[in-house]
Amino acid sequence: MIKNLRHVALEVDNLNQAIKFYEALGCVLQSRDIEEGEFISALTGVKRIILETCKLNLAGVVRIELIHQIRPRKMTLRRISKSSRNMGHISLTVDNIENVMKLLIQEGASKHNQIVVSENSHSVHAVRAYHCYLYDPWGNIIHLAEDMN
């Protein structure tokens, strides 16, 4: 059985810039490492792969792992996935969606859509909230949601 969510991994081109971006969201840098050798090659299926990674804590509960592939340069980890993307999105509940959007855009994010309001028409379990999607500077989707009282 599942015990918890271990981490969400995002592939980025610039680890220093990515750390700054996700720290602006409130993440706290936990560790930064170079990962290589037999284990990481066996796990990814890519011979002699070298990754620079860091782990960030978000609200003390969720861990985000940022991955920058050092070698081989021409092949990204996304190619080992069965689709062209590693994941759908990270969804974050925020206290003020407009303020967080402005902050992330200042840090290099771009908007996918305007803020939209969810009623419960799309799902009987939906919570009324404001929602929007943004792209981080590496194309990963960040879903912001602010619950309506």
CATH number assigned to the domain comprising residue 133: 3.10.180.10
Question: Residues 84-133: pLDDT tens digits?
Answer: 555 667 888 889 999 999 999 999 999 988 888 887 655 666 678 888 88
Cα–Cα dist 83/86, whole Å: 7
Q: Within this chain, do residues 75 and 98 fall inside the same structural domain, yes or no?
A: no
pLDDT score for 92: 87
Could you report the per-residue pLDDT of 5-52, keeping only the tens digit for each? 778 888 898 999 999 999 999 999 999 999 888 888 887 878 888 889
pTM: 0.74
The confidence score (pLDDT) of residue 122 equals 56
Domain count, the chain: 2
Last residue of some domain: 36, 70, 87?
Answer: 87
Same domain? For 96 and 147 the reply is yes
36 & 103 share domain? no
Q: Are 66 and 119 in contact (CB under 8 A)?
A: no
Same domain, 55 and 109: no
Are 130 and 115 found together in one domain?
yes
Let me know whether 28 and 94 are in one domain.
no
Q: Are 97 and 81 in the same domain?
A: no
Lowest mean pLDDT among 1-10, 19-28, 76-85, 134-143: 76-85
**Non-local CB neighbours of 106 within 8 Å, separated by 6+ positions:** none
Task: Tell me which residue range forms the domain holding 132.
Answer: 88-149
Lowest mean pLDDT segment, chosen from 5-14, 55-64, 70-79, 90-99 = 70-79
Residues 68 and 140 occupy one common structural domain: no
Q: Out of 40, 55, 87, pick the residue that ends a domain.
A: 87
17 and 75 share one domain: yes
77 and 21 in a common domain: yes
